[in-house]
Structure 1
Amino acid sequence: MSTEPSAAPGAPSARPARRPAAVLAYVVAALALALLLGTAGPAGAADDKPGQRIAEGLRKSPVYVDPSYRQAFPADQQRRLAKKIKASGIPVRVVVVPFISGDAWGGEPDKMVDVVRDRLGESKQREAVYMTLSKSEGFLNGYEFPRDGKHQAFWGVAAVGHQEDMDGKSLYAKFSRALEIVKSGNGDKQYEQATKDLDRSGTPSADEDGAEDADGSSPLLLAALIVPALAVLVVAVLVYRARRSRTSTRAPFTSPRSVFATARKAGVRDLRKRAQRELLTYNEELLAHEPGDSAADGEEAADTDLLQLSLDAYAAAGTVLDNARDIPDLAGVLALLHEGRDALRRSASTGSARSTAALPLCFFHPLHGPAAERVRWRPLGRRESLDVAACGDCAAAVAGRRAPEVLTQAHEDRRIPYFEVPPEHSLWAATGYGSLTEDTLTERVLRGDFTRTR
């Protein structure tokens, strides 16, 4: 997830002045970043800022890429694709944004397209072709207006995901191929060619449910497939709403425990997606945050410091996510977001609670979630002991003289506990995800420690 950190990696550790005006300017910058992210609004919300941001981007270029995809789709490739689109003479718009359940368009690409077209003021009869990512990874979606247009974009763009030579190719290569098919105007034929080896009786993909019957399949067959799927969808929505209602009274700035519960068994790819979603969620929390009322100058200064930390944590988490290459790095993203959320909680509180910092994530395995207490722990084979933060399970293991579950990392062709990696090679080993240092993880990342230890 691409963000603009408040200090470039490797820069001196001087921090901005703690003045309300400086923080206000930072808040404005954070708001701008939030608009660029453009996907974190709740489903069904009236907030159309993400759609407006995409529309503004498309007025400048026919290719809009969300910051979370800028590494996968670099700026130079965006410009090259934009030139191809302009040379084609076809009003093609490419929108590359993530689709997440609960975002501004309910995770539905077609709804995003409708919102963006509305923000652009395009009539239903105005010719346009939109290309987006699909909800199914590796595939693309095409939308043509008017619906019965001459470019056959719906099936033509979908064909790219089924073409063997496109497997594993870059986003630039896939969208370029989709543009070629749209230019040829024979998308239906290309889709049939790309899928000729598929079993025609198989179920359509999630993005093709409800689409026109391109190969003449029986409507009864489609109904038999779609109706059960809709029933499952309705149940899923009801369960989701019920869970939302049960959890609505929780503190707003605590790291969702469900993230940690599922992340423990996730691979790098899945955990990266979870970290991206958490960064988007935290962005929303920043926008919704209202600092506590401060009567005294000292409390106002404390609010300013905490707000600055929460904003810095957002930038630091984005920096680590951009460069994360393994699970310990992605766990670091969650640790930074936990740190930022705690700063938000404290700035919204009053009295003695303001200065009470939460414990960091579990030292032994940060994907266990926030620590419950601090414990004295002596590593096997060593005389000295450490004071570390531990979750309930790990604290019980230490108290019972049992080995707690630990996060491992590959180092010199073998897997070892992450904290046994030489600290000069790992920020996480040097800090224990916040257990072993007085300064914050956010400060360490923004002054360049994460980059220097890689």
Structure 2
Amino acid sequence: MTTLTTAGRPPTDHTASGAIRLLLTLCGLTALLLTSATLATPARAADAPAASQPPTRAAYLADRLRENPVHVTDQLPRAVPRSMAPDFARLAQRTGVPTYVLVLPNQSASGEDLLGTVHDRLRRDGLFVLLDESGVRKATAYGVSAPAEAARTTTVFELPYDAGPLRSFERFVDVVAQGPEKAEALAGAAREKFRDGNEPEAMYIGPSDRQNQSFVTGIALTGVPLTILLLAPCVRRARRRFPRATPPGSTADRPASTRPKWRRLLTPSLALAVALAAAIALTAPLVFDQTKRRAAPLPTSGEMTARVERVAEGLARDPVYVDPESPRVLDATQFSRLHDRIERFGRSEGGGPVYVTVVPHLSEDESAGDEELFAAAVRARLGKADAVGETDGVYVSADPLTGYIDVFNHGLRLDSRRLLFDLPESIAYGDDRANAADDHLMGERLDALMTHLDESPRTDGPTSSGDPLPAPSPQAENSLPPLFATDFWPGLFVGVIAALLLLGLVAGTLGIVGAVLRRRSPAPLPTQALPLVSPREPSEAYLRRTARTELQAASLAFASVCDAEGEGSASRIGPAWNRFDAAMLLVGGDMDGLRSPGTDPATLLAVIVLARGARNALQGDTNDRCCGVNPLHGPSAGRRHVRISAEGNRRRMLSLCPLCLDSAVAAPRELRERMLTLPGPTGTRVPYDEPEGSPLSVLGDGISRLADRVRDSAHVH
């Protein structure tokens, strides 16, 4: 009997049918999973660039502030090393409110918007401050009471442009801590002071200023001492030309021959010149004591390579690196398309890897703003230098702040010079439309660059842009040259020239003044009025000029007496004429011959004594003797035994003028210090009556005896 099921079908083996159904189910699930995986793989590949898109700038900075309320960028190591972060944090605690500090490259006009978006991302209230390499750029208070704008205004107008970010932030914090009312008052005062033209002076100097300081120091070091040495003879000559009284017994009145030899060599002018030179050399480094060009401390080697390491690590994961601290210039679509173009170029004939870095390049960064140097440093860091070809490729530097694009080829079959120097300007710098856009149309221009690379002709072998010159070290860049260097040496030469020019100017001026005074001066005063103005160390020029003046005065006196008295003057003219005639015999009968050198000083002194004696005789003075200490003192007032030699006790009977006669009683030692001396043949000075063969040896017997001696020597009777 056959058993039927309710469906009218014959019975089956339930175990076998169950196994079949299970097998079919497993096969279906496997097929479904494989199909899903096949369909999903392209989608994930397409989404990969979008998934690797870096976070927005605000999100990145908010994350940094969440980790630490002070974030110092690694892109300004020369101006703001990251080691300064503790200093900013210490100052931020003085505000009295939660303070968040961002130190970033200059963000242009986007600073306030950046602080707002960072605050929204961070979701914390407080005082948000944005600084760049120059100082406080923006400051805003969210949910707290703080005079942010007033404090920022005060720092801008009170501090010089080179004060540096740390000093700027310190002043900002000080103003914030004083409260709103005081801060507003300080801001208004600083603004008014600046408006009146009181711009703060710079705190640091540059190399050109140091060169000026070195130049001035060199001029002073040679010009001042040399001027003293050169002008000292002019001053002494002027004093002899226009003598004035000197106190009896003073060191200035002491004959040079009585001074020790070492004191004659070490003149006051030489000592003063040496002292001033030493003073200038010692004080110049104290006056010009600047050693730095700006306030930034020296960065460490790690701070100088931090950004390069960050970028290289990013390029190791993705051929396009976008700086998270800079404004976004590539959207998701452009970012994805750039990846596709780079991948296609890598598979093309003669192509290869392309590395794009969208980072700013500033003079304060590790490469001093040199894009080629930065690309070379990233390449060296990206691959190991000993791995052949591992880091070959095209390195594209795109600056998100300026919009400039530079291309450097290393190891691909492309014309490196053409890429470096002949890149179309629309790609390298952008057109007017790109310059007006906030993103510099960076996505379009990078796409055009990839097209340019695709169309670039291939070379027979790999080429390279070459190795760039190294950037200056921070220490050399921030240090001033030594003071005694650069323009110091030309300054020494200019100082000598300036001293010579000044000497010429002073000598010319004194000459002109002397000529004018000689023309306007009346005839010499009577000898009775001369004791206090007669020099004891007259120069040859003084004697020559005085002798000519005395002869002219005596000649005029003779003419005046003859015209006034006629024949009745013969009794007075006789003795006076003998003296005048003797004086003319000494000069060869020509007074004009005294204009030029040639007559020895002793003869010139004899001419002066005879001419003055002739004039005195015409006036009725019968005194035949003059002062034996200094004949220029005039007629004697008496005779006395005096000792005028410093050696021995020998005394002489001398005729003395009233001044010397008083000194012989009150201070006899002063007489030998007042003894008239004349320039000797060897440059030393000798007493006036010592020159061998001089007619002055008989002057002690009277002026008439001197006249007779001269006339006898000339065989005139």
TM-score, scaled relative to structure 2: 0.27
Relative CO higher for 1 or 2, CA cutoff 8 Å, sep ≥ 6? 1
